[in-house]
Copies of this chain bind each other. A is one copy, B any other.
Amino acid sequence: MSEQEDNFSRLRDANFTIIGLGLMGGSLGLALKQRGIGRRVWGVNRRETVIDRAVELGAIDGGTTDAVAGVADADIVVLATPVRTIIDLLQQIGPHLKAGCLVMDLGSTKSDVMKAMMCLPAGAEPVGGHPMCGKEVAGIWAAEASLYEGAIFPLTPLERTSPAALALAETLVERIGATPVVIDARRHDRLVAAISHLPYLTAVMLVSAAAEVAAEDALVWPLAASGFRDTSRLAASDVTMMHDILVTNREHIGEMLQRYCRHLDRLIALVENGQEDELRETLGQAWQDRYSVISDQ
Interface flag for A142 (CB, 8 Å) = no
Copies in the complex: 2
Q: A250-B271, A272-B254 are in contact. Are A191 and B223 (CB under 8 A)?
A: yes
**8 Å CB interface, A243-271 against B:** 243, 246-247, 250, 253-254, 256-261, 263-265, 267-268, 271
Task: List residues of chain B with CB within 8 A of the CB of A203.
Answer: 231, 286, 290
Contact of A227 among B214, B223, B234 (CB under 8 A): B234
Q: Is A219 an interface residue (CB 8 A)?
A: yes
Q: Tell me if A159 is interfacial: C-beta within 8 Å of chain B.
A: no
The answer to whether B195 and A202 have CB atoms under 8 Å apart is: no
Name the B residues within 8 Å of A285 (CB-CB): 208, 211
Do A133 and B239 form a contact, CB below 8 Å, given A212-B259, A231-B230?
A: no
Comparing A37-45, A52-60, A273-281, the segment that makes contact with chain B is A273-281
Q: Does A177 contact B (CB under 8 A)?
A: no
Q: Is A158 an interface residue (CB 8 A)?
A: no
Q: Which of A274-296 contact B (CB under 8 A)?
A: 274, 276, 279-280, 282-287, 289-291, 293-294, 296
* Contact bitstring A161-181, B, C-beta under 8 A = 1, else 0: 000000000000000000001
Do the beta carbons of B209 and A191 come within 8 Å of each other? Answer: no
A192 at interface, CB cutoff 8 A: yes
* Cβ-neighbour of A264 out of B132, B213, B257 (below 8 A): B257
- Per the bound structure, the CA–CA distance linking A222 and B208 in Å amounts to 30
The verdict on A187 contacting chain B, using a C-beta distance below 8 Å, is yes
In Å, the complex CA distance between A289 and B276 comes to 34
**Smallest CB separation, A181 vs chain B (Å):** 8
CA distance A207 to B285 in the complex (A): 9
A139 in contact (CB, < 8 A): no
- Check if B224 sits within 8 Å of A276, measured CB to CB: no
Asked whether A280 and B205 contact (CB < 8 A) given A132-B225, A194-B213, A267-B257, the answer is no
Which residues of A come within 8 Å of B, CB atoms?
132-134, 136, 151-152, 154, 181, 183, 187, 190-192, 194-196, 198-214, 217, 219-237, 239, 242-243, 246-247, 250, 253-254, 256-261, 263-265, 267-268, 271-272, 274, 276, 279-280, 282-287, 289-291, 293-294, 296
Known: A235-B287, A235-B289, A247-B274. 4 other contacts (CB 8 A): A181-B223, A221-B293, A237-B287, A264-B264
User: Can you list 14 residue pairs at the A/B interface with Cβ under 8 Å?
Assistant: A132-B225, A136-B296, A195-B210, A199-B231, A202-B202, A207-B290, A208-B289, A235-B290, A236-B296, A242-B283, A253-B271, A257-B264, A260-B264, A261-B268
